[in-house]
Structure 1
Amino acid sequence: MKINLNFPSSFQIALLLSLIVYVLAVGFTLPTNESIFLYSFQVLKFWKSGFWELLEFTLQMILILVFGHTLAMSQPVDNFLDKVAFYVKTNTHAVLFTGGVSMAGGYLNWGFGLILGAVLARKIGEIATEKRLAVNYPLVAASGYLGMLVWHGGLSGSSTLKVAEENHFLMDKIGVVTINKTIFSDFNIWTNVVLILCLILLLLFLSKKPIDKQVEVTKNRSTKVVNESKDKLGYLIGLIILALSVSEFSKVYEEGWGFLDLNFVNFILLGLGLLAFGSLSRYVSSLSEAVRGATDILIQFPFYAGILGIMKYSGLLVLIADGIVQHSGPGSFPLFSFFSAAIINFFVPSGGGQWAIQGPVIVEAANQMNISVPNMIIAFAYGDQVSNMLQPFWALPLLAITGLSAKSLLGYTFYFFLIALLIFGISIWLFV
């Protein structure tokens, strides 16, 4: 007899986590001599208090996905991908080009890199079918997902950019942590360099393997962007935004990188998008299409904020942090945080949502053990991104564009996961 098991949706998981945290808070933080019934209602009030506290963060996460996604659908980007795909002559070319473009795009912006890699993989598959080139299409598509393995240590990392803002939700615990201590730290830069080099070698090795089955990819008009509108106001607004953004870089030598936060990145992405489309009407049309991919963030983030509200106001957060400190030390805690972030990512697939839940625990424990908070933020980022290679949530846009199944990608992304797990683990063990 066949048993059908349905894995819960990401929203159902958010609801389940809310219930679990609620029960834990009632069970472990109940004050002495207080009615459990009255306290249960009080914990619900904690949930309500936290529910809307991350609205700014929610909108920032939506915009960084939507603006990046929209930019990837613009005509200049589409033309660039056409040129890259045109020079593909072998399977090795296809795999390395797609992996390189995806990682470069993902480092700049995760939404941009995700769509960029998917569209390029599709274009290469179409050209390979048309020219009868022997190309391992599932491997090419898997290479197009590699941007999600470098994004959180890159320029659109949710946790690293959030803590670089004034008045972020952990401001009273750690102050402002500028990106020169996280994204541009020697620890993060050298870890990424080693990771990318090892991934390139792995792609080279895998691309030389015999191709079991050639996948036929028919022409898909949705991968071609056509700018039909003639209004050019987008150019003017885009140039103004980019000029204002570039002017901020003049402050780097005097004031450092404090200006580079989520709002600044979103401002640049908006300017680039408007400049790339030129037409306001065409930009808004593509923006409307990209917004659909942000639905999960929109509905789930308030529930993650509610979870944080329960943990913060009930005292469960401090209780968990104290427990971690008692059962781990400065030597083991960074690796513990890395592996736990990788596991939690299966249930909370949004880096921003996960930081809202796990970040306060990491910060509290790190402060108690006198461990570098910037390095712990990077360790968390590595854990969040490494299990993306096994987590199908963010692969859904790529699967839709390439027309492949998650199973066909997993056979290759599992190798990416193992290599990254080893590199991140060793790096954290040696330097945090």
Structure 2
Amino acid sequence: MLNRMAGRFSKLVERYLPDAFVIAVLMTLFVFVVGFFMKPQAPMELFQSFGDGFWVYLAFTMQMVLLLMTGMTLASVPAVGRLLEALASKIKTANQAYVVTFLISSLAYYINWGLAVVVGAIMAREVGRRNKNAHFPLLVAAAYTPTVLYTAGLSSSIGLTVATKGHFLEKIMGVIPTSETIFHPGTIIIFFALLITIPIFIVLMAPKKDIIPYNPPVKKADIEDTPSEKAVDAPAARLENTPFLGIITGLIGLVYVVYGFVNGKDLDLNMINMLFLSLGLILHRSLFQYAKAFKEAAGAISPIILQFPFYAGIIAVLGSSGLAEAIINGMTSVASKDTFDIFTYWTAGLVNILAPSGGGQWALQGPLQVPAGIQLGVNPAITAMAVGWGDAWTNLIQPFWALPILSVVGLHIRHIMGYCILLSVWVGLITTVLMFFVY
């Protein structure tokens, strides 16, 4: 029954869901319209906040672009391809394909969500390439779904923020150790409950007919990327094709990464980018080959570059218009001490649809949610994790964070969103029930 319902729902979503950029623009217009009604006396303030906020996350956008491009370039190394082929060749059935892809992507999300963006996408592509019985849209959804687990992982943006001395809410909630957030028994219970039940739900959704296998996109030949035999013997060409320059440059980057780890530096986006870049330079046969692979990866990243500034502007308008405050205060006003974390979770899920950025959402929600929870006697560590779980939950129905994986595998958001929406219902139900008992 579930696979029939999933199939019908997926086809419905494919028919009516617009492109992710259209959704971003519609959300921008929505927050502006609501903002005008909430703050009619100062309409120009909304325009000012949108324009200022539009550029706030440029550094983060560039980090994401480099993460995807260096990760995709690293994955094109022949040795990496052989490793993925060996792993994918062990998978014999469609159900194994869904479960293994989900579990490997989950492991990557637990280690670092930035790393998982690339690992999940490449795993889905390589498994789909060798398992024609697997429904590829569902396989990609299986690789993306572990995004709901990252808030309990080692790169939890909110969990790590509140554990950092000098964070912006330290005067209100103090410094919260990770033993009370990502390593809290309740967090671990929710994590494993989702880790065990989600792949079962995915297998039950798997279609029995009308299977769509993986079809690799056709690459256009680029004459400029194929040097002539005469050019190969030229001194400049020998520099371009020698592996020596790439190995030396890559080793410099690896020394930086290792030295950072030895001295306690976190595995953040900058470290992952340097690691991917360095390994790619070392493992590719030459700088020419690396640059060629980098160029091939560039076209897939345009949706991130285009859309993230719009969401940064939306976050700014949510704050200046008072819309975010109204949503948060409205939900928490009806909560008790026992239900505050659940209402916080639901609120965070709603806000995340409009503002899909963990750090940006915590900056909006934290200053309002934490004091309200403290007044009711709620541990601020639990409030922080409730916001984190809610932020991760609706990533399944907010198309922005699916764009990186879709760009790698060559699908459109409407191909996987039907499955993701159904999975979000399951995740929301399980997490809501468990939060009532474990926190």
What TM-score bracket applies, with the shorter chain setting the length?
Answer: 0.7 to 0.9
1:275-290 equivalences under 5 Å are 275-278=278-281, 282=290, 285=294
- Seen in structure 2, the aligned counterparts of structure 1 residues 364 and 334 have a Cα distance that, compared at 3 Å, is same
1:189-212 deviation per Cα after TM superposition (whole angstroms, max 9, x unaligned): 2211121011233345455xx621
1:22-421 equivalences under 5 Å are 23-24=37-38, 26=39, 40=42, 44=45, 48=49, 51=52, 55=56, 59-60=59-60, 62-63=62-63, 66-67=66-67, 70-74=70-74, 75=77, 77-129=80-132, 134-206=133-205, 211-220=208-217, 230=243, 231-249=246-264, 260=266, 264-278=267-281, 282=290, 285=294, 292=302, 293-305=304-316, 307-309=318-320, 311=322, 326-421=333-428
User: 2-side partners of 1:4 and 1:221: how far apart?
Assistant: 27
- Seen in structure 2, the aligned counterparts of structure 1 residues 412 and 290 have a Cα distance that, compared at 3 Å, is closer
User: 1-side partners of 2:411 and 2:60: how far apart?
Assistant: 31
**What's the counterpart of residue 27 of structure 2?**
13
**What's the counterpart of residue 3 of structure 2?**
none
- 1:174 Cα deviation (Å)? 2.8
Letter in 2 for 1:218: N
- Contact 1:149 / 1:388 at 8 angstroms: preserved in 2? yes
- 1:407 Cα deviation (Å)? 4.6
Secondary structure of residue in 2 paired with 1:349: coil
- Contact 1:136 / 1:215 at 8 angstroms: preserved in 2? yes
User: 2-side partners of 1:181 and 1:241: how far apart?
Assistant: 32
- Seen in structure 2, the aligned counterparts of structure 1 residues 95 and 10 have a Cα distance that, compared at 3 Å, is same
- 1:150 Cα deviation (Å)? 1.4
Quick check: 327-336 or 283-292, which moved more?
283-292
- Seen in structure 2, the aligned counterparts of structure 1 residues 193 and 393 have a Cα distance that, compared at 3 Å, is same
- 1:338 Cα deviation (Å)? 1.0
User: 1-side partners of 2:48 and 2:371: how far apart?
Assistant: 20
User: 2-side partners of 1:91 and 1:317: how far apart?
Assistant: 43
User: 2-side partners of 1:352 and 1:5: how far apart?
Assistant: 27
- Seen in structure 2, the aligned counterparts of structure 1 residues 296 and 408 have a Cα distance that, compared at 3 Å, is closer
Letter in 1 for 2:149: V
Letter in 2 for 1:356: A
Number of matched pairs: 391
- Contact 1:152 / 1:158 at 8 angstroms: preserved in 2? yes
- 1:49 Cα deviation (Å)? 11
1:366-387 deviation per Cα after TM superposition (whole angstroms, max 9, x unaligned): 2322311221121112122222
- 1:137 Cα deviation (Å)? 2.5
Q: Verify: 1:426 aligned to 2:433, yes or no.
A: yes
Letter in 2 for 1:185: H
- 1:362 Cα deviation (Å)? 1.5
- 1:185 Cα deviation (Å)? 2.4
- Seen in structure 2, the aligned counterparts of structure 1 residues 407 and 302 have a Cα distance that, compared at 3 Å, is closer
User: 1-side partners of 2:175 and 2:64: how far apart?
Assistant: 21
- 1:408 Cα deviation (Å)? 4.3
Secondary structure of residue in 2 paired with 1:232: helix
User: 1-side partners of 2:408 and 2:355: how far apart?
Assistant: 24
- Seen in structure 2, the aligned counterparts of structure 1 residues 322 and 267 have a Cα distance that, compared at 3 Å, is closer
Letter in 1 for 2:108: G
User: 2-side partners of 1:318 and 1:368: how far apart?
Assistant: 17
- Contact 2:153 / 2:182 at 8 angstroms: preserved in 1? yes
- Seen in structure 2, the aligned counterparts of structure 1 residues 149 and 326 have a Cα distance that, compared at 3 Å, is closer
- Seen in structure 2, the aligned counterparts of structure 1 residues 161 and 309 have a Cα distance that, compared at 3 Å, is farther
- Contact 1:330 / 1:371 at 8 angstroms: preserved in 2? yes
1:150-196 deviation per Cα after TM superposition (whole angstroms, max 9, x unaligned): 12332333333333444444344334334333222222222111210
- Seen in structure 2, the aligned counterparts of structure 1 residues 199 and 303 have a Cα distance that, compared at 3 Å, is closer
- Seen in structure 2, the aligned counterparts of structure 1 residues 353 and 285 have a Cα distance that, compared at 3 Å, is same
User: 2-side partners of 1:318 and 1:390: how far apart?
Assistant: 22
Segments of 5+ residues of structure 1 without an aligned counterpart are: 28-35, 250-258
- Contact 1:198 / 1:419 at 8 angstroms: preserved in 2? no
Secondary structure of residue in 2 paired with 1:393: helix
- Seen in structure 2, the aligned counterparts of structure 1 residues 78 and 109 have a Cα distance that, compared at 3 Å, is farther
**What's the counterpart of residue 32 of structure 1?**
none
Secondary structure of residue in 2 paired with 1:296: helix
User: 1-side partners of 2:301 and 2:418: how far apart?
Assistant: 30
Segments of 5+ residues of structure 2 without an aligned counterpart are: 1-14, 220-224, 226-239
Secondary structure of residue in 1 paired with 2:155: coil
- Seen in structure 2, the aligned counterparts of structure 1 residues 174 and 368 have a Cα distance that, compared at 3 Å, is same
Quick check: 7-16 or 370-379, which moved more?
7-16
User: 2-side partners of 1:428 and 1:91: how far apart?
Assistant: 33
User: 1-side partners of 2:332 and 2:95: how far apart?
Assistant: 48
- Seen in structure 2, the aligned counterparts of structure 1 residues 365 and 185 have a Cα distance that, compared at 3 Å, is same
- 1:218 Cα deviation (Å)? 3.4
**What's the counterpart of residue 254 of structure 1?**
none
- Seen in structure 2, the aligned counterparts of structure 1 residues 191 and 248 have a Cα distance that, compared at 3 Å, is farther
- Seen in structure 2, the aligned counterparts of structure 1 residues 79 and 148 have a Cα distance that, compared at 3 Å, is farther
- Seen in structure 2, the aligned counterparts of structure 1 residues 111 and 15 have a Cα distance that, compared at 3 Å, is farther
